[in-house]
Amino acid sequence: MIKIFANWETKLEKNEWYFSDCYAELTKGLSSSDAFVSIPDVINVLLTIKETSLLNEALDFLGIVYNIADTTEIHPMLLVQWENITQHIQWFGDNYSYSAWKEIQYMLRLAELP
């Protein structure tokens, strides 16, 4: 997943749907169990990103992977990294980041949306 963030500005200029296309390619044919198993990879990438727009993309992708996993089970790594993710969003995120994180929490039945 980290490869999609290399030279992303140039790629996005050429294709405004660059990230969506990448997500579609990464998730093509992904079973629910494979999606669940891939959650740690997404979390690892998310925690390395320090640019707000890319953080937002990683949060969106985490939501996509959870949708494909089709479960409200909290991945053990997500539990372990919960506070780190929250802190990372506080440091590098914006309002969209907070909303995306809240939406993931809602999807996992850990929070209510306003």
H/E stretch holding 69: helix 52-69
Domain spans in the chain, listed from the N-terminal domain onward: 2-107
What is the rounded distance in angstroms from the CA atom of residue 86 to the CA atom of residue 69? 22
Q: What's the pLDDT score for residue 18?
A: 81
Q: Would you write out the chain's pLDDT as a tens digit for each of its 114 residues?
A: 657 677 677 777 888 888 888 888 888 988 999 999 999 999 999 999 999 999 999 999 999 999 999 998 999 999 999 999 999 999 999 999 999 999 999 989 887 655
Contact 108, 74 (CB under 8 A): yes
Judging by beta carbons within 10 Å of its beta carbon (0-12, 13-18, 19+), is residue 53 exposed, middle or buried? middle
